[in-house]
Structure 1
Amino acid sequence: MAAVEIVSFGYLHDAPPTAHLTIDLREHFRDPHVSPELRYMTAHDEPVRAAVLGTPGITDLVAATAGAVTAFASGPSAETVRVADGCAGGRHRAPTFAFALAELLRADGHQVTVTHRDLHRPVVHR
């Protein structure tokens, strides 16, 4: 199978990284930032992952993105497939999505690396 690089990021910090697929999670999926009890947590915390993955449609999008990665990987190029997924601050939705996508792709035999560009950054106050 293919090598896959996944980068989660926050649109409020910098431009999206270059990728074959860029997934924008800002408008259609619940933002844990709006919940005071989740705001200062990250995707490393179970309550954040549960809130994001419990949002209707998110697991379907993870599966669809995995299918798109597999389609890219089946092409004649042996290059690494790059996926960038972003949310507002890069601490909740995007890294949770990246973790879930990586898990699914690894189960399908892909070699996956995950980088969280903005997970370490402070909470963006909006």
Structure 2
Amino acid sequence: MADVEVTSFGFGHGPQPTAHVVLDLRQHFRDPHVDPALRTLTVANRAVRRAVLRTSGIRPLLRATVAQVTAFREGPSGEAVKVAVGCVGGRHRSATVAHCLARRLRRRGLAVDLRHRDADRPVIQR
């Protein structure tokens, strides 16, 4: 059983998953989608991850979310903490933040299930 379940998703592909912690990255962080070279790529591509991680505010958000998950884990329920990370399409920002969050939590000894709900769905045309 996982200690933490992390799901990336795109608001443009449907409703947000049910979660204890929801990160909505749509308004506050630069979207790699605007770069035609990155638009059709996903979190599986290093260039996408690099572009997202170089965005001001992303690394502090990851640190804060690790602290938030840790606080939830200290509660008495014992059930998995569910984290949903969303952007418009679920291919770039949310998938990268979810990927990095899962990695950071695993380094702290937590069992993490990571799911990219919409990373392989079609690019949303805007």
TM range (shorter): over 0.9
2:52 is matched with 52
| 1:106-125 → structure 2 map (5 Å cutoff) | 106-125=106-125
Aligned-residue Cα RMSD (Å) equals 0.8
CA separation in 2, counterparts of 1:46 and 1:76?
38
1:11-69 deviation line (CA, Å, top 9, x unaligned): 00101000000000001111110000000111110110000000011010011001000
After TM superposition, what 4+ stretches of structure 1 lie above 6 angstroms from structure 2? none
State yes or no: 1:72 paired with 2:68: no
3-state DSSP class of the match of 1:17?
coil
| Structure 2: tracts of 5 or more residues without a match | none
The alignment covers a number of residue pairs equal to: 125
**TM-score, length basis structure 1:** 0.97
1:21 is matched with 21
CA separation in 1, counterparts of 2:10 and 2:102?
18
- Percent identity over paired residues: 55
| Structure 1: tracts of 5 or more residues without a match | none
1:59-107 deviation line (CA, Å, top 9, x unaligned): 1001100100000000111100000000000000001000110011011
- Compute the displacement of 1:125 (Å): 0.4
